[in-house]
Structure 1
Amino acid sequence: MSHIAVIGAGITGITTAYALARRGYDVSVFDRNRYAAMETSFANGGQLSASNAEVWTRWGTIFKGLKWMLKSDAPLLVNPRPSWHKLSWMAEFMGNIPHYEAHTVETTRLAIAAREHLLDFAAEVGVDFDCEQRGILHVYKKQSEFDHARRVNTLLAKAGLDRREVTADEVQRLEPALKTDTLGGFYTESDFTGDIHRYARALSDGCARMGVTFHYKADVSDIHHTGTGVRIDWHSSDGDQQQHFDGIVVCAGVGSRAIAAKLGDRVNIYPVKGYSITVNLDDETSQAAAPWVSLLDDEAKIVTSRLGKGRFRIAGTAEFNGYNLDIRDDRVRPLREWCEAFFPDVSTEHCVPWAGLRPMLPSMMPKVGPGSKPGVYYNTGHGHLGWTLSAATAQATADVVDVARMKNAA
């Protein structure tokens, strides 16, 4: 039985570990935190959204970024301070604009495939993750955004997604709690929501019951390819340790770029910060006034999910500001004000802000597959769709490892 190391215990790392363990691999997971899913997989928007699989590689994104560069509360904010990493990433991003349509279709297909795997994993382990299968409703207040959504819908349909246009009256019928006028929207009944952190933590417990070894609070100091596998050196409360593995899967989010460089690969991930607030619905009025259907406001780039009776998650924005996790009030305030405008009877007195770094590649496509050296694999770079795509890319990664093992056995 091959011994595989997985670097990273976020949603991609945990689903990868589970996919490998259920196929009989001996798996060890390394993470610098005390628990699974403590960074980007802690408090995201909660949407499992094939309907939001449109990639960002189009000129409209560039123009918006330039227009909003000096607006601190803009949905997309780029720190104008140059760095070689940022400039090289943006140059490659623009180079991927011709692939916008193909990548959107491919990402949508992957997102559709991921749903079944994610729910299967949850059923096998017995995961309760505040899942709400009520669909996702995109809403529009500006005609230009609505027109663009119609064009996007043709790509989503090509991938096999059923996302139907709805009138303003239908928007209100689908989510009666909504207290703002819209032009209409698009509704995807097959999409759903859930708590990514609860899911990942429960799945990590399931992995442990299957024999997966977890090294938490592990500071990986060196990763060295030996020719026959990979040696990992790390430091923990037990001191300096070292172990040889037959293979390694890099699922380290924004840390994947540095790890890939040690293994002789270039994985040009840039950290794109996103924010969320979790509104605690402490009173009956707020609980009744908060929506149950998940929403996506395309103009504001804000998504929502209802996490059980007592929590309402609002997330969004994209900030190109390096490896910076500061929680800024001017970035959180628009989320709170959006809630107050769309759901005025929801009390925002008690809401918890959070920020995480999305690992984005210039193509907006995850890197899934082998590296340049034998036994090295990647499942990283999912950007804003890590929760949505993770179960499918985990299965794809396990498939690649299976193929390599059979070749070696032959």
Structure 2
Amino acid sequence: MPRIAIIGAGITGVTSAYVLRKQGYDVSVYDRQRYPAMETSYANGGQLSASNAEVWNSAATVLKGLRWLGRSNAPLLLNPRFSWHKYSWLLQFMRQIPNHRRNTIATTRLAIEARQHLYDMAEAEGIDFDLERRGILHIYHDAASFEAARRGNELLREGGLERYAVTPEEARDIEPALQTACHAGFYTPSDATGDIHKFTRGLAQACERLGVRFVQDADVAAIMADGAGYALDLAGADGGGGDRHQADAVVVCAGAASRRFARQLGDTVNIYPVKGYSISVHLDDAPSREAAPRVSLLDEAAKIVTSRLGDRFRVAGTAEFNGYNLDIRAERVQPLVDWTRRHFPGVRTARVVPWCGLRPMTPDMMPRVGPGRRPGVFYNTGHGHLGWTLSAATAQLLAASVGERLRPR
């Protein structure tokens, strides 16, 4: 059977491996970390959110970004230092503003489709990932932001999403722990939350039981054509030469690193690493567990999302354009802690674990899924802030593309 090498053991790489193995391919997954799901698939906001499918390419987003320039604690932060990749990416991002409606509707449909695929995988393999199917509640603090959201809501509904407006009283009925005032909200009952790390690790174990090989601590230094297939050169532990692995086909699921691999394979995949932060608040006492919300929230003004993951309260947000930088900055983490204390004062923040990850974003906010220029090259990457939401569906699209071009023998 054809041998497929998947680069990346995050959520997209592991879901791709699972679906391809189920269809009869010989699959190996390569990742530079010691275990699967140790980078962007480690501690994201937790939302499986079709309600967050509106792409960012809009004049309103650009204007907000300009207003936030110079604020170190702003929801969106741009390092002004010149980088050709960053500024050319931003220019292409703005050129996609006319496609806002089309791409939002397409992303919504894909997110809705992804849900059942993910639930089916979890049920088939017995994966416990702190799933909460209580919906997602978006809250707005003023009439202007709510009216702007209403226009976006029409696009989500056109994409097939059940999502409706709620009053402040209805919002508190949906989530009684929400005590602070809001102007209004939108509620999506079919959305959910879960721990991306637990799911990805559980699905990776299922893949291994099915015969998928995971090659960890594997820094792929180069991919090159080799006869009818491809050779993967792995860097040695000292940075020098390492092993060479052969495959008939390559699938790039390498998150923010996908751009580098695509260039080696003759393709242009314009992905920029947009940093996001989260904190995991450990609910170590009964009053904290009682005070923390169960329904997932999105605060539009602060651009903060929350998820209840068992005895942890995940609070995430911010978008930082600062290159391939994984420094955890105190001034970016503190707003997440402050927001938690302000809205849920009964939650103790004595044990808070900060994290950051690089969202792999394309200028049009759409994932790159399908074949490359060369035979046997495929991509499933560039999901941005919706990798957790979309990956179970894009794995199916990838497998269909592979099946059209690379039949199991």
Distance 1:366 1:156 in 2: 18
User: Any residues of structure 2 matched to 1:360-371 within 5 Å, and which?
Assistant: 360-371=361-372
Between the aligned partners of 2:225 and 2:103, the Cα distance in structure 1 is 32
Q: TM-score, normalised by structure 1?
A: 0.98
Following TM superposition, by how much is the alpha carbon of 1:235 offset from its aligned partner in structure 2, in angstroms?
A: 3.4
Shift of 1:226: 3.0
What is the distance in 2 between the residues matched to 1:349 and 1:243?
47
Residue 225 of structure 1, CA deviation:
1.9
Tell me the distance in 2 between the aligned counterparts of 1:152 and 1:235.
46
Number of the residue aligned with 1:263: 265
Shift of 1:385: 0.2
In the TM superposition, structure 1's runs of 4+ consecutive aligned residues that sit over 3 Å from their partners are 235-239
Return 5+ residue gaps in structure 1 as ranges.
none
SS at the partner of 1:225? strand
Post-superposition offset of 1:231: 1.1
Deviates more, 1:240-249 or 1:364-373: 240-249
Matching residue of 2:294: 292
- Matches of 1:218 and 1:236, distance apart in 2: 9
Q: How many angstroms apart in 2 are the aligned matches of 1:225 and 1:89? A: 29
Q: Aligned residue for 1:280?
A: 282
- Does 1:384 find its partner at 2:407? no
Equivalent in the alignment of 2:339: 338
Q: Which moved more, 1:217-226 or 1:30-39?
A: 217-226
Residues 102-136 of structure 1 show CA distances to partners (whole Å, capped at 9, x for unaligned) of 00000000000000000111111110000000000
Note the C-alpha offset of 1:41. 0.4
AA in 2 matched with 1:176: P
TM norm structure 2 = 0.98
Residue identity opposite 1:245 in structure 2? A
Alpha-carbon distance, 1:311 to partner: 0.5
SS of 1:90's equivalent in the other structure is helix
1:350-361 to structure 2, matched below 5 A, reads: 350-361=351-362
In the alignment, the residues of structure 1 paired with residue 60 and residue 275 of structure 2 have an alpha-carbon distance, to the nearest angstrom, of: 20
Which residue of 2 is the match for residue 301 of structure 1?
303
- 1:236 deviates by 5.2
> Which residue does 1:242 correspond to in 2?
244
Residues 179 and 344, structure 1, Cα contact 8 Å, conserved in 2: no
Distance 1:65 1:321 in 2: 14
Deviation at residue 184 of structure 1 after TM alignment: 1.3
Q: Distance in 1 between matches of 2:89 and 2:235?
A: 32
Distance 1:213 1:80 in 2: 43
Contact preservation (8 Å) 2:376, 2:406: no
Gaps in structure 2 of 5+ consecutive residues: none
* Equivalent residue number for residue 15 of structure 2: 15
Alignment of 1:74-85 (within 5 A): 74-85=74-85
Find the residue that maps to 1:291 and give its secondary structure.
Answer: coil
Name the CA distance, whole Å, in 1 between partners of 2:268 and 2:212: 29
Secondary structure in 1 matching 2:224 = strand
Q: Contact 1:272/1:320 (CA < 8 Å) preserved in 2?
A: yes
Which range moved further: 136-145 or 361-370?
136-145
Distance 1:397 1:77 in 2: 33
Partner of 1:251: 253
Q: Which residue of 2 aligns with 1:151?
A: 151
Q: Give the Cα separation in 1 of the matches to 2:124 and 2:20.
A: 14
CA–CA distance in structure 2, aligned partners of residues 9 and 191 of structure 1 = 25
CA displacement at 1:241 relative to structure 2: 1.3
Contact 1:227 1:374 in 2 (8 A): no
Distance (Å, rounded) in 1 between the aligned partners of 2:51 and 2:87:
30
Q: Distance in 1 between matches of 2:301 and 2:8?
A: 33
* Alignment of structure 1 residues 68-217 onto 2, 5 Å: 68-217=68-217
Distance 2:227 2:177 in 1: 60
CA contact (8 A) 1:3 1:26 kept: yes
Displacement of 1:243 after TM fit? 2.1
Question: Following the alignment from structure 2 to structure 1, what is the Cα–Cα distance between the partners of residues 360 and 406?
Answer: 29
- Give the residue type in structure 2 aligned to 1:88: S
Q: Distance in 1 between matches of 2:264 and 2:237?
A: 24
C-alpha offsets along residues 234-263 of structure 1, whole Å, 9 cap, x if unaligned? 135698211221111000000000000000
How far 1:349 moved relative to its partner? 1.2
What is the rounded CA distance, in whole Å, between the counterparts of 1:240 and 1:186 in structure 2?
53
Shift of residue 149, structure 1, vs aligned partner: 1.1
Q: 1:405: how far off? A: 2.0
Alpha-carbon separation, structure 2, partners of 1:98 and 1:251: 28
Answer yes or no: is 1:65 the counterpart of 2:95: no
**Paired residue secondary structure (1:13):** helix
Secondary structure at the aligned position of 2:138 is classed as: strand
Distance 1:252 1:403 in 2: 23
Residue identity (%): 60
**Matches of 2:359 and 2:334, distance apart in 1:** 20
Query: Following the alignment from structure 2 to structure 1, what is the Cα–Cα distance between the partners of residues 73 and 269?
Result: 30
Q: What secondary structure does 1:149 align onto?
A: helix
User: 1:6–1:27: 8 Å Cα contact kept in structure 2?
Assistant: yes
Secondary structure class of the residue paired with 1:295: strand
Aligned length: 407
> Where does 1:390-405 land on structure 2 (aligned, <5 Å)?
390-405=391-406
Alpha-carbon separation, structure 1, partners of 2:222 and 2:58: 38
Q: How many angstroms apart in 2 are the aligned matches of 1:33 and 1:151?
A: 42
Cα distance in 2 for residues equivalent to 1:194 and 1:347: 22
Give secondary structure in 2 for the equivalent of 1:341: helix
* Contact kept in structure 1, 2:47 and 2:388, CA below 8 Å: yes
Taking the aligned partners of 1:53 and 1:43, their CA distance within structure 2 comes to: 20
CA contact (8 A) 1:45 1:313 kept: yes
Deviations 1:343-377 (A, max 9, x none): 11111111100000000000000000000100000
Shift of 1:334: 0.6
Map residues 45-60 of structure 1 onto 2, 5 A cutoff: 45-60=45-60
